[in-house]
Amino acid sequence: MRDTVLLLAMNGLIWGLIIALIALGLSVIFGLLDIINIAHGDFFMVGTVLAWFSLSATGNFWIGFIAAPVIGFLIGAIIQRLVIQPIHGAAALSIVATFGLSLILQEIVRITFGATPRRMLAPIQGTIPLFGVDYEIYRLFAAGVALAALVGFFLFLQHTKLGTWMRAVRHDRETAVAMGIPARRVYVLTFGAGFALAAFGGAVAAPITTVDFRGGVDVLPFCFMAVIIGGLGNLPGTVAAAVLLAFLEGLIQSVADPTVARISSLVLMSAVLLLRPQGLFKGFTK
């Protein structure tokens, strides 16, 4: 019993770090572009599929770690330019647009990859004993990579020109434009970055989950939970919320149905929305 609790809790923690990457992508899109991106879960799913295709094409798993975010970024940038920009990011229309996008992505994957879910072998096999449990090495590795990516992204935001532009536009659009920051380009790059983050998360997660054209459907509500509970526009908060939620769900799953775990997260999310919509974590809010 204790083993299972520990195991599920650790799984939760690791999954939380990976989801944090994906949720961060959503937070960046939602926070900067004000778009409720229904297709975000599918961005993650596309990442897992890209990882699969890179592996079967080249025989090298690690190529996926590069291919997924790069291709994801390009796709995201193109989508922003072709679809979001013509509608000026208008709120309700964006929801319909991203809903349509979600369908398109799922169908394209279904056509190219197929409808049957498949599993990918982890590039690092084996387990090591941890807290009295034999834990898969790849999971630990994945958590490490996710953590590194998270740190890397925050460094990017703080120290690069593009990152600073993103922060400026998010903070105060008009002033940023007045200061000569090319807002439109920032939007394109932001959407691309959001896709890239989610796709990278997908590549990292591919061996621990199934590669399935419907793989995004479950991830989507979770990302929104992390963004809302962490606080809109609060990027570190989103990360913290993602990890916390996944960890809690892992714990609850050891004593109850996974569905119960999901319901309790949703109820928590409703409570936050109703009582403290700016999120549970204080921090660098909008």
Partner 1 sequence: MTRRYIEIGVAMGVAAFLIAVPWLIPALTDNFWVSVITEILIWSLFAASVNLLFGYVGLLSFGQALYFGFGMYGVALGIDHLGLSFWPAFGFGIASAMAMALVSGVFAVRLSWHYFAIITVVFSLIFYFLAVSMKPLTGGDDGINFSLPPVFRFGRMVWSLTDPTFQYFFVLAVVSLCFFLMYRVINSPLGKGFLAIRDNDLRASLIGLNVYVLRLIAFVMAGFLAGVSGALFAFFGRYASASYMFYQVSGEGVVWTIVGGAGTMFGPLVGTTLFIVIREIVSSHWEHHSLIVGLLAILAVIFAPKGIVGLWNGWMMRLDERDAAVSPAMTLQADP
Q: Where are the alpha helices (DSSP H) in the chain?
A: 2-33, 40-58, 63-79, 91-112, 137-159, 161-171, 173-178, 183-205, 215-230, 235-255, 258-275
- The answer to the question of residue 92 lying near partner 1 (CB under 8 A) is yes
- The answer to the question of residue 78 lying near partner 1 (CB under 8 A) is no
> x/- site string to partner 1, residues 103 to 122, per CB under 8 A?
xx-xxx-xx-----------
- Least distance between partner 1 and beta carbon 2 (Å): 26
- The answer to the question of residue 195 lying near partner 1 (CB under 8 A) is no
Could you write out the DSSP letters of every residue in 203-260? HHHGGGSEE-TTHHHHHHHHHHHHHHHH-TT-HHHHHHHHHHHHHHHHHHHHHS-HHH
Q: Which stretch binds partner 1 (CB under 8 A): 14-22, 59-67, 96-104, 185-193?
A: 96-104
Q: Which stretch binds partner 1 (CB under 8 A): 143-151, 152-160, 233-241, 271-279?
A: 271-279
Q: Which two tokens stand for residue 120?
A: 């990918």
> x/- site string to partner 1, residues 198 to 217, per CB under 8 A?
-------------------x
Q: Which two tokens stand for residue 97?
A: 């647009």
Task: Output the CA torsion sign for 174, 175, 178, 180.
Answer: negative
Residues near partner 1, by CB under 8 A: 34, 36, 38, 83, 86-87, 90-97, 99-104, 106-108, 110-111, 217, 221, 224, 228, 257, 259-260, 262-263, 266-267, 269-270, 273-274, 277
